[in-house]
Chain A
Amino acid sequence: MTNKEKESKNNKSSISVFFDEVSRSSWLVPILAIFSGLLVGGLIVMFTTDEMYILIGDGQIFEGLSLGFRAMVDSFVALFTGSFGSPTKIIAALQSGDDLLIRRAFNPFLESFVASTPYIFAGLAVALGFKTGLFNIGAEGQLFMGAIFSVWVGFAVKGLPAIIHIPLALLAGALGGAIWGFIPGWLKAKTGAHEVINTIMMNYVAFRLSEYLLRGPLMRPETFTPVSPMILESAELPRFFESPIRFHLGFFIALFVAWLVYWFMFKTKWGFDLRTVGANPRAAKYAGMNIVRSTILAMVLSGALAGLAGANEVLGVNHNLALAFSSGYGFDAIALALLGKSHPFGVVLSAILFGFLRNGAIRMQIVGIPVDIITIIQAMVIIFIAAPAIVRSIYRLKEPKESDEQTFVTSWGAN
């Protein structure tokens, strides 16, 4: 064999080694899952297009199918322009030089980050629970409590400068969520009552409590609608641009908190405690870790993060609290924590994805695609994520090298 041949053989093997590595990598599965989810969602759009069946019924099979296909393409275009903005509008606006037009053109893109922000907080909340082996389904309720606490501090505490008022309102939100996390955490640690049941129940309590407060003590004095008073300007999270762009400081606070959670979980001894309790509670006990304390601490922190999601929405976007204001951030957070593999940085990425999907969905609605399609796409992504075996078998990927497929929850039925 000549040197050249040898070389080419080596190259070939290094390429195949590369593909081997890629196909075993744990990040390929989420990416392919997102792709598969979008594809399945698109096909659902296509096959729920009524006109397609009418045409096919008339014997125009090809025309029917191409119409359905166009509907699918239209919906993807709408999803794209809704979440990223329309490239033609952006170019036109830049050429015109008009400030308002430029802001409008870029608004969809920045609005997607506005939608991502509560997802980051809530996703971190659920992920921190997962890492400790706890399934916090109560993020939604904790989010409501955070919103209630922070809106009260926002409108009732007067005469503070923004530099104090904003942190105080945020901390109040964290406190509200933390209390709502502490209760199921304490019940779990002391009595063994399962956190899944208790956090679900605490959600209902939080929803009804917020309804009561908004119709009573927190109701805006001059109105009869269940809406809280507007928060003071000193409590508003600063926005970076003028109307209609709502992009605000909360996004950067969320990134900072994600880094903080990462640092806490992976760089401190307390985080080591929590992660060990989550990874193997028996070994944690054997190693002398305090399972009771870790469980309560994890639920308190998880609740505080979810509470921040609520505070962020109140202080950064709505500036008041209305009924059912969250529309499911806390529940979507479960899915996106799974998607992000419960790692803070993964959560940030998947939260941004969810934000873009959510924001794009609004645009899809305008072109006549029901918003439920986005829910279906999200659901499909989660199904593909939750069952990596499906994705691996569809795309013929190899098994991961080590047992790095992690178990998210060890407590359910495990002991």
Chain B
Amino acid sequence: MTNVLELKGITKRFPGVLANDNIDLTLKKGEIHALLGENGAGKSTLMNILYGLYQPNEGEIFIDGEKKIINSPLDSIKAGVGMVHQHFMLIPVFTVTENVMLGDEKLRGGVFLDRKVVAKRILELSQQYNLDVDPDAYVRDLSVGVQQRVEIIKLLYREAKVLIFDEPTAVLTPQEADGLFEVMNNLLDKGKSIIFITHKLKEVLKASDRITVIRQGKVVGSTVPEEADEEKLASMMVGRPVMLNVDKDPSNPKDVVLDVQNLNVLDDRSQLAVDNVSFQVREGEILGIAGVQGNGQTQLVESLTGLRENFAGDIFLLGNKVTDESPRKITEFGSAHIPEDRQRDGLVLNYSITDNLALNTYYLDPFSVGAILQEEIMKKSAEELIEKFDIRTPNAETTAGSLSGGNQQKVIVAREFSRPTKFIVASQPTRGLDVGSIEYIHARLIEKRDAGTAVLLVSSELDEVMQLADRIAVMYRGEIVDVLDAKDATKDLVGLIMAGVNPAEAKEMVKVE
């Protein structure tokens, strides 16, 4: 097999940071090469260099054996390299055809867009690669999986030979992910080559031909799936042995802490986002809510924490009716909340860690005496929490915005878990975090459960829900369609229900297989 792409000695320095340190990477024709690494390891920098967004300080790029200088995404597309971004670059109100031709418009008579020619080409590509995309559909009407295939068609239309997939499965159900892997194999059969960026170890082992692991800007090893397993890859990524499987005893549920009755919540566009949901969470158990993003989980959590008004139904916390109570009241009843978007909701980025740690207790004794803030006491308490929760920071006065994602999340966990709590809502608690931080957060959640706290875990990472939850509620289009005991739930079964298959049918389907 020939090398379709070679990166030689790529070095990229940012002020104070060596993002890429002499990285070599080769991609053979017709292979899937997985690039594995934690957030901040330098994967994105490397790919942005390949995609022409950054210029390397040192190193060379060869495509088909020919040295190329890539100064812009345009150069990279010309050289046959294309990228499927994690967040799709599609315009919802345009058709597939219009999206595909965007930036490379075919004109009729020099003035008018020639949609027909492009649509015909899209159909050809769709059939050739078995992508099943309708050129005339509006993107807003397509499912996420199909939108991703539109992104792929965009690259094929521009005759890319090398396709870079950046965390492509983050937005997919397990079944959709399997569909994507099939598409990737079709692409290989037709002579394309793929770089697959991910932090999901299972997928790497399942889908790739070769694996390169990057840590702190350096290539720390290359391997093939046959010779690797999850533990080995994880410890290569992190640089130390990692506990991948959460160690926990069976749960010991006691009294009901949270009781949700026939809850209905509207979203920002006044559409019903949570549809008549009822469930309970007990002391000492973790109820996991599984579901593809955007099925009402966000609105459910906002309603439970007082951030969003209810439309109908009731919420009881420790027997107190908290429907439409203020967030402060709900917090004072003993509720803690790890919000889904830590930078938007959970932190004030230009505040110090000290202020962020006191964000919902600043007005209470001992942090306020009368109306006066007790800065020394706040700082001392912050220093204790930094120590206890292992927040990596120069000092307590550092702003939250200058911390890494993992440490920002630790600030939130430290704040929420250091109060006496009876109920915790953890919404996407490990999104975008590295393996080490995920391990840490999971351990803290289990610790809280074992201490008798009721935990509601909302996550779009099915693996996370499967690992942590004692019971799994599956949300689909605003409804909780089924609640499974964790020991009866398999990934296939939950995946099917997440995708909208009737739970009874899904159970049959899984049995037959």
By a beta-carbon cutoff of 8 Å, the part of chain A in contact with chain B is: 267-270, 272-273, 276, 279-280, 282-290, 398, 402-404, 406
Contact = CB atoms under 8 A, between A and B. Distances in A.
Interface stretch (B60-68, B102-110, B158-166, B368-376): B368-376
B337 A286 contact: yes
A285 B350 contact: no
Contacts of A269: 362-363, 368, 371-373
Nearest to A286: B345
Contacts of A276: 348, 351, 359
Interface string B319-360: 000000011110100000101000011111111000100011
A226 B247 CA distance: 83
A287 B327 contact: yes
Contacts of A290: 326, 328
Contacts of B305: 286
Interface of B: 15, 305, 307, 326-329, 331, 337, 339, 344-351, 355, 359-360, 362-363, 368, 371-373, 375, 399, 401-402
15 contacts: A269-B363, A269-B371, A269-B373, A276-B348, A279-B351, A283-B359, A286-B337, A286-B339, A286-B345, A288-B327, A288-B329, A288-B331, A402-B399, A403-B402, A404-B399
A279 B331 contact: no
A257 B371 CA distance: 18
B349 A285 contact: no
Given A285-B307, A403-B401, A279 B350 contact: yes
Which 6 residue pairs of A and B lie closest in terms of their CB atoms, listed nearest first? A288-B328, A287-B360, A287-B359, A288-B327, A268-B371, A269-B368
Nearest to A401: B402
B372 A403 contact: no
A403 B401 CA distance: 7
A279 B352 CA distance: 12
Nearest to B16: A401
Contacts, number: 72
A282 B326 CA distance: 14
Given A280-B347, A286-B305, 17 more contacts: A268-B372, A268-B373, A269-B372, A269-B373, A272-B373, A279-B348, A280-B344, A280-B349, A282-B345, A285-B327, A286-B327, A287-B359, A402-B350, A402-B401, A403-B350, A403-B402, A404-B399
Contacts of A267: 372-373, 375
A250 to B, nearest CB: 27
Contacts of A287: 327-328, 359-360
Contacts of A288: 326-329, 331, 360
A283 B327 CA distance: 11
A273 B371 CA distance: 11
Contacts of A406: 350
Contacts of B359: 276, 283, 287
Contacts of B345: 282-283, 286
A287 B331 CA distance: 9
B20 to A, nearest CB: 21
A286 B346 contact: yes
A289 B355 CA distance: 14
A403 B349 contact: yes
Contacts of B328: 287-290
A366 to B, nearest CB: 46
Contacts of A285: 307, 327
Contacts of A282: 344-345
A254 to B, nearest CB: 23
A67 B460 CA distance: 73
Nearest to A268: B371
A286 B341 CA distance: 11
B326 A270 contact: no
Nearest to B369: A269
A267 to B, nearest CB: 6
B351 A270 contact: no
Nearest to B329: A288
Given A282-B344, A286-B339, A404 B350 contact: yes
B393 to A, nearest CB: 12
B330 to A, nearest CB: 8
A409 to B, nearest CB: 15
Nearest to B367: A269
A403 B349 CA distance: 9
Nearest to B364: A269
A288 B339 CA distance: 13
Contacts of B329: 288
A176 B349 CA distance: 36
A290 B348 CA distance: 16
Nearest to A277: B348
B413 to A, nearest CB: 15
- Among A276, A283, A406, chain B packs the most CB atoms within 10 A around the CB of A283
Contacts of A279: 348, 350-351
A276 B346 CA distance: 12
Contacts of A284: 348
A282 B340 CA distance: 12
A271 B213 CA distance: 48
A282 B368 CA distance: 23
B356 to A, nearest CB: 9
A404 B398 CA distance: 12
Nearest to B342: A283
A273 B329 CA distance: 16
A403 B403 CA distance: 12
A282 B344 CA distance: 7
A192 to B, nearest CB: 14
A320 B247 CA distance: 79
B416 to A, nearest CB: 11
Nearest to B355: A272
A306 B368 CA distance: 29
Contacts of A289: 328
A274 to B, nearest CB: 12
A355 B62 CA distance: 63
Contacts of B327: 285-288
A286 B351 CA distance: 15
Contacts of A270: 371
Nearest to A282: B345
A280 B344 CA distance: 8
Contacts of A402: 350, 399, 401-402
B421 to A, nearest CB: 14
A180 B337 CA distance: 39
A404 B348 CA distance: 12
